[in-house]
Copies of this chain bind each other. A is one copy, B any other.
Amino acid sequence: MTRTEFSVTVDLVLLTIRQAALQVMLVSRGIPPHQGRWALPGGFVHGDEDLGEAAARELREETGLDPRDGYFEQLATYGRPGRDPRGRVVTVAYLALLPDLPTPVAGSDAAGAAWRPVDEVRGDLAFDHDEILADGIERARSKLEYTPLATAFCPPEFTVADLRAVYETVWRVRLDPRNFHRKVTGADGFVEPAGGTVIRDRGRPAQLYRRGPATSLHPPLMREPTRPPDQRPDGRRTS
């Protein structure tokens, strides 16, 4: 019975929506291995830490954000021999869905950290981070179907249109604004009125809402549509 010794790291898939695109937080690696390449933020788990604590610590160190600003959950664990040239390293990946806060990237570690559109970085990441990122995006997509987590991408107060933009961006679809409005405001505990109104661009002012108390939606409120081939706004087809 070999009791091989491992190092254990946490890696973060931090997703947000900026400029109408799904973006992921990446760091440019300053040291080998994979020096100069983009990678998911992360680091070694300390001796007295639970895994989730280590992930939350890294989140604070790298971005200044708090897990409670958005949503935070364990994603999956990766331990293929050879995935890290430094030795036998198992990494526990965490997924966070965050609002596009004016990121106070101040922290020291955060040098070289940046939001990047996921479409522009797929295939270019260090280690097995492409695989981890793909799993995180897939998880986020499916979570939107049966949980109220779309609000995790929104700031504390948001409009129905903001929330709709989340689904449209993550799923790459157009949703009918009128039916969307009814479903969201009608769903029990999904959102609750915050009182104010705001004018985003042109047109009638929109009501502001806060996250509601719901933690799950049964039946699922929003369902990822099975797209007819021409419905993608960018004209591309699903494989």
B51 lies within 8 A of A90 (CB): yes
Residue in B2, B3, B76, B90 whose CB lies within 8 Å of A90: B90
Contact call A80/B5, Cβ cutoff below 8 A:
no
| Interface presence of A74 (CB below 8 A) | yes
A146→B224 CA distance, assembly (Å): 12
Nearest residue (CB) in B for A225 is B218
Chain A contact patch, size range: 35 or more
Known: A81-B49, A226-B218. A7 touches B7 (CB 8 A): no
Contact present for B81 and A47 (CB under 8 Å): yes
* With known contacts A5-B7, A6-B7, A47–B79 Cβ distance under 8 A: no
In the assembly, what is the distance between CA of A74 and CA of B46, in Å?
24
Return the CB mask of A126-161 against B: 1 if under 8 Å, else 0: 000000000000000000011000000000000000
Which residues from B are CB-within-8-Å of A76? 74
**Residues of chain B lying within 8 A (CB to CB) of residue A48:** 81
Q: Cβ of A77: which chain B residues have Cβ within 8 Å of it?
A: 51, 74, 77, 92
